[in-house]
A and B are shown apart, each in its own frame.
Chain A
Amino acid sequence: MQTEGKVFKYRDNVDTDVIIPARYLNTSDPKELAAHCMEDIDREFVKKVSKGDIIVAGYNFGCGSSREHAPLAISTCGVGCVIAKSFARIFFRNAINIGLPILECPEAAEEISAGDTVNINFDTGSITNLTTGKKYKAQPFPPFIQNIIKSGGLLASIKERDESDE
C-alpha cells in the first residue's frame, strides 16, 4: 500500500480542538466535519487539500480531546497519511481504529517542508521526499496493531476473532 501527495506542514502540539473545533461536534457526519478540518490554524487547508496529500507535524500531534471526529475529519479530507515526531496517545489509538495511516518519524517530520511531494510505502515504512530525493524509514507498527489495520479497523478485527473462536 502506498500514498503520494503534497505536504501540509504544522507545528508541535496540534490539538484536536484545531483539527476539528468543538463548535462543529453537534454532528458526526464525516463530510460536514471534513469541511472545517484545521480551519482555526489554516483556513486554506480544506480548499487546497487533495486525495493522497500528507500532513507533516511536530511533537504530540492530536493532543487534547478524545474526539474520534479529528482523525475522521482528516481522513475524509483525503489525507493519505500523517507523519509526526510523536502522536498523543488517544489520537494514535483513534487513527488506527478508524484506519487513518499515521507514521512516527522525527527525522522526516523535521526535514520535510510544506509543499514537498512525498511518497510513502506502508509495507516497508519508507518515506521518500520526491522534491529533495531524501529517504527516511519510519518505525513499523507492532504485529498486534498491524493485525487491526489488516482487518480494516478494531471492530472488524474483533468480529474476525469472534468468528474464528466459534
Chain B
Amino acid sequence: MTMTQKILAAHAGLEKVVPGQLIEAKLDIVLGNDITAPVAIKEFEKACFKSVFDKDRIAIVLDHFVPNKDIKAAEQSKTCRNFACEHCISKFFDVGKMGIEHALLPEQGIVTAGDCIIGADSHTCTYGALGAFSTGVGSTDMAAAMATGKAWFKVPSAIKIELCGSLPKNTSGKDVILTIIGMIGVDGALYKSMEFCGEGISSLSMDDRLCICNMAIEAGAKNGIFPVDGNTLSYLENRAERKPVIYEADSDAEYEKTVKINLSDIVPTVSCPHLPENTKPASELSDIKIDQVFIGSCTNGRMEDMTAAYEILKGKKVKEGVRCIIIPATMQIMRECIEKGYVTAFIDAGAVVSTPTCGPCLGGYMGILAEGERCVATTNRNFVGRMGHPLSEVYLASPQTAAASALTGYITEYKD
C-alpha cells in the first residue's frame, strides 16, 4: 500500500485497502470556513442533528471575508459564531485569533502526522506536508462529518513524485509545484494521491512542503503527501496536540506512474492566465507589464514567504504605478513580521500590509482587479475572474518572483 492507502486503511479499521474500494474512515479533524461552514450548519440543522461528534475535533476558521467585508459576510460569520458557541467548538478562530486556515492549523498544532482530515475547502490538501491524509470536500460532507466523525472515500490510486537534488538559490516550493502542474496538467492527478518521495525531500523546508501539498488540488489530486522525516518531527515537536503517527509506503506499493524531478533544475516559474498548467520560466515573461502584486494566501503567506519578500523589498521602492499588497497568513506570522521589522520595511518600500485574510486570492476583497489589469500573485488559481474582473489576468508565482516584479513593474526573475 502507499502512504495514503495505509492511513485510510488504519482509519477505516481495515488491514488492507485497494484503489477504487469504497470505505468509511474515522476523522481526526473536520474543518470549515466562513464561506463553507454556514452552508454546512444549515444542512446540519435541516437534518435535525442535535450534537456534534466531538467539540474538540471540529475547526471553524473565519478567514475568507473577515474582518467582515460587508453585511452579508457579517451574517455568515455570525452564523458560524453562534454555532460554535452553541456546540462549544473549542477550535473556533474569530478575528484576533484567526489566520488563513491552512497556515493556521499546522501552526497551531491542530493537525499532525498520521491524521485523516477533511475540510470544506479545496486547499485542505495542504496538511499532507505533515504526513497526514487530508482532502477537500463540500459543505454537506462537512455537515455529515460534524455529526458522525466519519466520511466515505474511494481509495485513490497514486502518482509517485520522486524528488532528487536540492533547490537552487532564489527558488522555492512554489516553483516546484508550478513545474509539476505544468508537466502533468490541471487534471493530471485527477482522483489520485500525489505521493512525494526521494532524497530531495530532506532539503525542502516545511513551508516549502506545505506550499507544494497546498497546490496538489490544482493538478486535480485528492491529496498530496510527504513522508515524515526529521524536519517534520522537529516542526511537530512542542506544537502538535496529538502524538504524530508515522506511516510509510510499502516497498512494493503500486503507483500508476512516476514523475521524476531534479530539484537542482528548478527555475523561477510562473503560471500564465487562465490555468495553473500554463507555466513558463519567469525569465521568458519579462515583457509582461503588471498593475498589482499580491504576496500572501494559504499557498504563500507563511514566514519563509514573508522573509523572501523582505529580503528583496527592504531598502527598495515598489515601482510607481504598481500596487503591492502583502498579507501575512496568521496573527503569529503578522506579529513576527512586526518584531523583525518586516512590516516597516514593506511600508517604507511602498507596499501595504493587511491583517490575515484570504481576501484578494479569490477576488473577495482587499485587492480586486479592474478590467484589463494584471497581477502577479503568490496564490494558487488564475482562472477567469478569479481576482476580479473577468478580463483581468493573474500570473501565479513565488514570493521571490512577486517581490522582484513589484520593484520593476514587469514580471521579473529575482537575481541577487
A-to-B contact residues, CB < 8 Å: 13, 15, 17-18, 21-23, 25-28, 40-41, 59-60, 63-69, 72, 86, 88-90, 93-94, 97-98, 142, 144, 153-156, 158-159
- Cβ–Cβ contact A158 & B147, under 8 A: yes
Q: 6 extra interchain contacts, Cβ-Cβ under 8 A, other than A23-B368, A68-B139?
A: A65-B362, A68-B120, A88-B190, A89-B220, A90-B138, A97-B141
Contact pick for A90, options B46, B69, B122, B143, CB 8 Å: B122
Interface size on B, residues (CB 8 A): 50
Residues of A within 8 A of B275 (CB): 13
Closest chain B residue to A24, Cβ basis: B72
Q: A22-B364, A65-B362, A154-B144 are in contact. Are A89 and B138 (CB under 8 A)?
A: no
- Cβ–Cβ contact B76 & A63, under 8 A: no
- Cβ–Cβ contact B152 & A68, under 8 A: no
- Cβ–Cβ contact A154 & B141, under 8 A: yes
Closest chain B residue to A143, Cβ basis: B22
Per-residue 0/1 for B403-416: is the Cβ within 8 Å of any A Cβ (1 yes, 0 no)?
00000000000000
B38 adjacent to chain A (CB < 8 Å): yes
Enumerate 15 A-B pairs (CB-CB under 8 Å) in ascending A order: A17-B363, A18-B385, A22-B64, A40-B385, A41-B384, A66-B138, A69-B35, A88-B187, A93-B141, A94-B139, A97-B140, A98-B138, A154-B141, A154-B144, A155-B140
Contact pick for A63, options B38, B121, B187, CB 8 Å: B187
CB contact list, B32-47 vs A, under 8 A: 35-36, 38-39, 42-43, 46-47
Contact pick for A23, options B39, B143, B364, B384, CB 8 Å: B364
Rounded to whole Å, the gap between the CB of B387 and the closest CB of chain A is: 9
CA of A158 to CA of B142, assembled, Å: 13
Contact pick for A26, options B70, B191, B384, B385, CB 8 Å: B70
CA of A21 to CA of B383, assembled, Å: 10
B1 adjacent to chain A (CB < 8 Å): no
Residues of A within 8 A of B152 (CB): 144
Contact pick for A17, options B137, B143, B383, CB 8 Å: B383
Rounded to whole Å, the gap between the CB of A27 and the closest CB of chain B is: 5
Closest chain A residue to B20, Cβ basis: A142
- Cβ–Cβ contact B138 & A59, under 8 A: no
Number of A-B residue pairs with CB-CB distance less than 8 Å in the complex they form = 131
CA of A114 to CA of B61, assembled, Å: 42
Q: A17-B383, A89-B191 are in contact. Are A66 and B122 (CB under 8 A)?
A: yes
B370 adjacent to chain A (CB < 8 Å): no
Per-residue 0/1 for B252-275: is the Cβ within 8 Å of any A Cβ (1 yes, 0 no)?
000000000000000000000001
B186 adjacent to chain A (CB < 8 Å): yes
CA of A96 to CA of B326, assembled, Å: 39
Residues of B within 8 A of A15 (CB): 381, 383-384
B310 adjacent to chain A (CB < 8 Å): no
- Cβ–Cβ contact A64 & B76, under 8 A: no
Q: A66-B137, A93-B137 are in contact. Are A22 and B363 (CB under 8 A)?
A: yes
- Cβ–Cβ contact A155 & B143, under 8 A: yes
Residues of A within 8 A of B364 (CB): 22-23, 25
Rounded to whole Å, the gap between the CB of B197 and the closest CB of chain A is: 23
CB contact list, B108-147 vs A, under 8 A: 119-122, 124, 136-141, 143-144, 147
CA of A142 to CA of B22, assembled, Å: 10
- Cβ–Cβ contact B187 & A68, under 8 A: no
Q: A65-B362, A66-B121 are in contact. Are A93 and B42 (CB under 8 A)?
A: no
Q: A17-B385, A97-B141, A155-B140 are in contact. Are A89 and B190 (CB under 8 A)?
A: yes
Contact pick for B386, options A17, A59, A154, CB 8 Å: A17
- Cβ–Cβ contact B186 & A68, under 8 A: no
Closest chain A residue to B380, Cβ basis: A64
Contact pick for B138, options A13, A94, A156, CB 8 Å: A94
CA of A59 to CA of B186, assembled, Å: 10
B73 adjacent to chain A (CB < 8 Å): yes
- Cβ–Cβ contact B190 & A60, under 8 A: yes
**Top 5 A-B pairs, shortest CB-CB distance:** A94-B138, A26-B72, A97-B140, A68-B138, A22-B362
B65 adjacent to chain A (CB < 8 Å): yes
Rounded to whole Å, the gap between the CB of B380 and the closest CB of chain A is: 9
Rounded to whole Å, the gap between the CB of A93 and the closest CB of chain B is: 6
